[in-house]
Structure 1
Amino acid sequence: MSTSSESAEIAATDDDFWNVEGIVGELGQIRRNWRTTNSHHAEYGTEGFPSRVRLAKVAEELCGALFPLRLGPDFVRLHNEETFVTQSLQIALSRLQAQVRLEMHYSAERKHEVEEQANAIVLAFSRQLPEIRRLLDLDIDAAYRGDPAARSLDEVLICYPGLLAIIHHRLAHALHRLGAPLVARILSEIAHGSTGIDIHPGATIGRGFFIDHGTGVVVGETAIVGDNVRLYQGVTLGAKDFTSKSSGESSGALVRAQPRHPIVEDDVVIYAAATILGRVTIGKGSEIGGNVWLTHSVPPQSRVSQARPLVAHVQTGNATPSAASLN
């Protein structure tokens, strides 16, 4: 027996109370206008786009294959570890191939080669997985050594959001370099959404990378980060100027795929909320203090900090304060 609210809902639907047909028609016209205006994008997605939902599952399966006992399902034990990894990789790589194929369909110049291109990319990617695991082991060790609150390597891998972001970045960076930038970007954004850490898949990151706490960290597309670098929450490795200054381009036109993000050399520590902008170099072994705003290069072994704060001492009945810097 239906309730009065259910009856009202059915009546409204039957009478097109919401004017859905009119809205559908207007939305359709907007889409057609957009495709006419942006004809160079018109064929994009005719076969579908890579799916964020499916790639999230691929990422989960790859994490399990890389670290079966710690990031795999709870039924994995030493006796069935190899079987689980074999099955996980077969499934994950097949699903990944399907997503790469969708990207290739609209980016490839020769459509009949899409299947071959997708197969080649995923095959090359699969061969990089052992090296990715080696790099991740160094990242885990760096986090354990760099954080006195960490009680074990297992805790670092299972609990630290920085490690999840780095795992996704290592996988995404490989795909980005192999020619699947959209799939790579989706993998990065999946980690961004769950950790608050935004690393563009184009960024090059060396061994032993550690992000402590992590929320709000941004690493831009053309950033180059050396070995044994540590970042804290809120650090930005960003671009300073997005506009083109070359002749022949309209004012304010964006420059794409140009080096515009910092180079951070080996053994650098960058503390919370520091912002480093532009194609500047932070020399080896340097330490950048919290809340620093930096737009120029610094030599190796530099120590950069913000100005000392001032404290005003106000005496009762005296309107004239005296100021002293904090030591």
Structure 2
Amino acid sequence: MDKDDIVRKIKDHKKQPNLRFRLKTEVEKFSNKLFLCLFDMETPVEPSLLELEAQFTSLAELACWDPENSCKELWGQYLEKLPVILEKLNLDAEAIADCDPASLSLEEVYMAYPGFYAIAIYRLAHELYNFGFPLVPRLMTEYAHSKTGVDINPGARIGNSFFIDHATGVVIGETAVIRDHVKIYQGVTLGALYVAKNLEKTKRHPTIENNVTIYANATILGGNTIIGENSIIGGNAWITSSVPPNSTVFHTPEIKIKTLPNVP
């Protein structure tokens, strides 16, 4: 097979006309600029918002493939949401600083905590998800996932004062609902009990009520699973049914002590 045949066959198999990978790069720039605009004292707000509007217009051209439904006009609506998002993120940062004895300052939370960064990008992406802006919200949270190890689907609904400690390995599914003042630790999964395409429009992921703490590597599955308020879920617990309020659930390890032969 000569070079021309190879080129022709590759072109024949490039079947996705809207697949432009520079969209990923543009989304990453947009996410970084949003974060700095909201938090960095050396990033001026007004010129940054103008730059963000231009970036958003570019994203709309790349991501909105239906010529009858332009996404450009969503910027004004999204802009109105930013102050509210910032208020929620400040509550998240305060919750982290208040709950983690290793935290020395709020500045440390904003700059050094991967859990906070993942929550920030999630909240910024979630509003675009609610507007029906295609693909970009998922690319935003996947960018945060690549930087932090935290995978939060932009469709999840998360209340105020959310705390993710250590962060790595956390997975929160699209239809998960998390109420206020919830704390979760590394390796926690809020996932689906069954994975099938026909469940696309159903609630597949659990609901976590107010003031729940979920410790490391716990797995909670199922759209009908509700963790009642004020409950504590211990590390490595596996839960597929609801837990009443004010409960403690824990995994009991089995300990076996090896004894060498001929040793009293």
Instruction: Name 1:6's counterpart in structure 2.
Output: none
Instruction: Give the fraction of aligned pairs with identical amino acids, expressed as a percent.
Output: 39
- The answer to whether 1:129 aligns with 2:79 is no
Query: Which structure has the higher relative contact order (CA within 8 Å, separation 6+)?
Result: 2
Tell me the alpha carbon deviations over residues 27-84 of structure 1, each in whole angstroms, 9 at most, x when there is no partner: 12223xxx5xxxxxx6x518x5771111111111111111122xxxxxx2xxxx6xx1
Q: 2:9 aligns with which of 19, 26, 31?
A: 26
CA deviations 1:93-128 (Å, max 9, x no partner) are 22112212332223xxxx2452xx421x11111100
- Which residue is 1:8 aligned to? none
Q: Give the alignment partner of residue 287 of structure 1, picking from 232, 235, 242.
A: 232
- Aligned residue among 68, 77, 87 for 2:47: 87
TM-score, normalization: structure 2?
0.93
1:268 to 190, 197, 212: 212
Structure 1 partner of 2:27: 55
Aligned partners of 2:260 and 2:116: how far apart in 1?
51
Amino acid aligned to 2:259:
V
Paired position in structure 1 for 2:127: 174
Tell me, in whole angstroms, the C-alpha distance in 1 between the residues paired with 2:231 and 2:22.
41
Deviation, 1:313, is: 5.6
Residues of 1 paired with 2:32 and 2:260: CA distance?
62
The aligned counterpart of 2:251 is 306
Q: 1:192 pairs with 137, 145, 150, which one?
A: 145
Letter of the aligned partner of 2:229 in structure 1? K
State the TM-score, normalizing by the size of structure 1.
0.76
Aligned counterparts of 2:243 and 2:46: Cα–Cα separation in 1: 48
Q: Secondary structure at the match of 2:121?
A: helix
Contact 2:23 2:62 in 1 (8 A): no
Contact 1:50–1:183 under 8 Å retained in 2 = no
Trace 1:148-297 onto structure 2 (pairs within 5 A): 148-243=101-196, 253-279=197-223, 280-297=225-242
Ranges in structure 2 where 5+ consecutive residues have no aligned partner: none
CA distance in 1, matches of 2:83, 2:262: 72
> CA–CA distance in 1 between the matches of 2:8 and 2:260?
72
Q: Distance in 1 between matches of 2:109 and 2:242?
A: 32
Deviation at 1:315, TM superposition (A): 6.5
For 1:118, which of 65, 72, 89 is the aligned residue?
Answer: 72
User: 1:98 aligned to 2:58?
Assistant: yes
Give the distance between the partners of 2:22 and 2:199, measured in 1 at CA: 26
State the 1:299 CA deviation: 0.5
Aligned residue type for 2:120: I
Secondary structure of the equivalent of 1:237? Answer: strand
Q: 1:210 is aligned with what amino acid?
A: F
Cα deviation digits, residues 219-258 of structure 1 (max 9, x gap): 0000000101111000000001123xxxxxxxxx532131
User: What is the aligned-residue RMSD (CA, Å)?
Assistant: 2.0
Is the partner of 2:102 in helix, strand or coil?
coil
Give the equivalent residue in structure 2 for 1:73: none
SS at match of 1:118: coil
Instruction: Give the drift of 1:318.
Output: 7.2
Distance change >3 Å, CA 50–CA 135, structure 1 → 2: farther
1:25 is matched by which residue type in structure 2? R
1:141 to 86, 94, 97: 94
Secondary structure in structure 2 of the residue aligned to 1:231: strand
Maintained 8 Å contact 1:61/1:89: no
Give me the whole-angstrom Cα distance separating, in 2, the residues matched to 1:22 and 1:318: 74
Instruction: Report how many aligned residue pairs link the two structures.
Output: 263
Letter in 1 for 2:36: G
Name the amino acid aligned to 1:296.
S
Name the structure where helix makes up a greater proportion of residues: 1
Q: Deviations over 1:157-207 (max 9, x none)?
A: 100000110110000000000111411001111100111100000000000
Q: Which of 180-189 and 199-208 deviates more?
A: 180-189
CA distance in 1, matches of 2:227, 2:69: 43
Distance 1:230 1:100, change over 3 A: same
Displacement after TM superposition at 1:23 (Å): 2.1
